[in-house]
């Protein structure tokens, strides 16, 4: 059986994801689709709108065959580490081709860019440091460094686009891991990654969908059903009804505020992504902020992107220290595969492949021990604290008791 891999967050699953899924299967002629999915906290440093278990159901209901969790140590990182962890997992499970969405839609451009940057790596890194010394954020400095080197080679990939950046790092990871997989890319359709309004009647970005969901008075809320499968809408509704909430940063802001107020500057500096005196800036503004959004606007600077600051806040919330991320930052592959869900076809694939997988495939967190998994268990508990008190214990136990979800037609209802 041929496996095609996708790297996803599904926050929540929508029609654009469905298009990517179906196209990935078509262009690779894959028999099974394996998704590496971020857990309860995501790459932009924010909580997922619903739990990883509910998002696993969304994926299975729409055609994914196997869902594996991308650990927190990789899923809440800059693009380079996020991509390396994801590709490592797909390689370990035997994926032959990985297919990602991009603004470019041409895989050759990604490989050409990798060769260009690899050939000019020292100069590229020097240029990045130069532009950062001028007060630019790392992503902006990277884009400026690339533009300065690109010169007249206009055919090179545009690295100012978010999905092109991620795609480049997927291809980079494939090269670093020995080219055991092939990469394919599909051009993004209609909606762009950061769009805050619906781009068409049937395709919208996850950002715009979340905005519509949380804006209770928005006219768009009534049209959400047009931009996502019915199974997603039903699972969202069920989660909100049974848990009396959907997750966003505002739910966690009192906890974040407590962490910042009760920590010293020295303690905040030990938190991952705490650099260059950021801890003093957070201390300065936390007392006057009435919401997470207000706090973020008060600490935002040209040098630090919103996502970078959000990730730092997230690591403060979860008390994730620099030492906790050393394994991932050293570009060690994830030490295990955690299975979240599978279809019947996915189960058949795993039965066929399991003896060939050289790292543990775990279905219960108590069956394996590693600092990366211990971190996942901790952050899952923190994710649950946003729920009403009477529901917290059920969700706290879920991390330890939930078996991998097996797809049934009931998931589509």
Q: Which residues are annotated as a binding site for ATP?
A: 7-20, 101, 163, 188
Task: Give the number of C-alpha atoms closer than 13 A to the C-alpha of residue 385, restricted to the C-beta side.
Answer: 14
Give the pairing type, strands 66-70 and 337-342: antiparallel
Quote the Cα angle for 360-34-11, to 5°: 105
Q: For the packed helices 249-262 and 278-286, what is the interaxial angle rounded to 10 degrees?
A: 110
C-alpha to C-alpha distance for 20 and 104, rounded to whole angstroms: 14
Q: What is the largest CA-CA distance in the chain?
A: 62
- Per DSSP, the residues of 364-383 read SGGG---HHHHHHHHHHHHH
Burial of 149 (0-12, 13-18, 19+ CB in 10 A): middle
C-alpha to C-alpha distance for 243 and 8, rounded to whole angstroms: 24
Positive or negative, the CA dihedral 399, 402, 408, 413 is negative
**Is omega for the bond preceding 174 within 30 degrees of 0, making it cis?**
no
- Per DSSP, the residues of 25-55 read HHHHT-SEEEEEEE-SB-TTS-B-SS-HHHH
Residues that constitute the known binding site: 7-20, 101, 163, 188
């Amino acid at each position: 059986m041929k496996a095609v891999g996708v790297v996803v967050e599904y926050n929540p699953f929508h029609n654009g994801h469905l298009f990517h899924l179906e196209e990935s299967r078509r262009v690779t002629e894959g028999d099974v689709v394996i998704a590496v999915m971020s857990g309860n906290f995501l790459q932009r440093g924010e909580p997922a709108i619903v739990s990883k278990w509910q998002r696993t159901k969304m994926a299975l209901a729409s055609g994914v065959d196997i869902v594996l969790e991308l650990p927190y140590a990789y899923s809440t990182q800059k693009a380079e580490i996020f991509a390396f962890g994801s590709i490592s997992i797909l390689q370990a499970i035997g994926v032959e081709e990985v297919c990602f969405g991009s603004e470019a839609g041409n895989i050759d451009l990604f490989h050409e860019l990798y060769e260009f940057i690899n050939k000019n790596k020292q100069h590229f890194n020097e240029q990045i440091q130069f532009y950062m010394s001028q007060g630019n954020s790392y992503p902006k400095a990277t884009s400026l460094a690339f533009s300065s080197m690109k010169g007249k080679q206009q055919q090179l990939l545009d690295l100012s686009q978010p999905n092109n950046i991620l795609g480049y790092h997927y291809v980079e990871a494939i090269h670093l891991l020995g080219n055991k997989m092939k990469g394919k890319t599909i051009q993004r359709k209609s909606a762009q990654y950061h769009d805050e309004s619906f781009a068409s009647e049937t395709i919208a970005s996850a950002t715009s969908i979340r905005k519509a969901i949380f804006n209770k008075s928005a006219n768009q809320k009534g049209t959400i059903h047009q931009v996502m499968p019915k199974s997603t809408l039903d699972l969202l509704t069920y989660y909100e009804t049974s848990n009396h909430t959907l997750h966003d940063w505002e739910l966690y802001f009192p906890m974040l505020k407590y962490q910042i107020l009760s920590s010293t500057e020295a303690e905040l500096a030990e938190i991952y992504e705490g650099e260059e005196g950021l801890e003093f800036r957070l201390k300065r503004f936390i007392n006057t902020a009435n919401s997470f959004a207000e706090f973020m606007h008060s600490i935002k600077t040209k040098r630090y992107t919103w996502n970078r600051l959000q990730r730092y806040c997230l690591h403060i919330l979860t008390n994730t220290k620099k030492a906790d991320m050393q394994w991932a930052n050293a570009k060690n592959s994830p030490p295990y595969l955690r299975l979240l869900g599978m279809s019947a076809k996915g189960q058949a694939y795993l039965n066929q492949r399991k003896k060939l997988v050289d790292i543990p495939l775990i279905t219960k967190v108590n069956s394996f021990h590693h600092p990366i998994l211990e971190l996942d268990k901790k952050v899952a508990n923190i994710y649950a604290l946003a729920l009403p008190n009477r529901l917290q214990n059920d969700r706290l136990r879920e991390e330890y008791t939930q078996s991998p979800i097996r797809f049934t037609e009931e998931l589509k209802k």
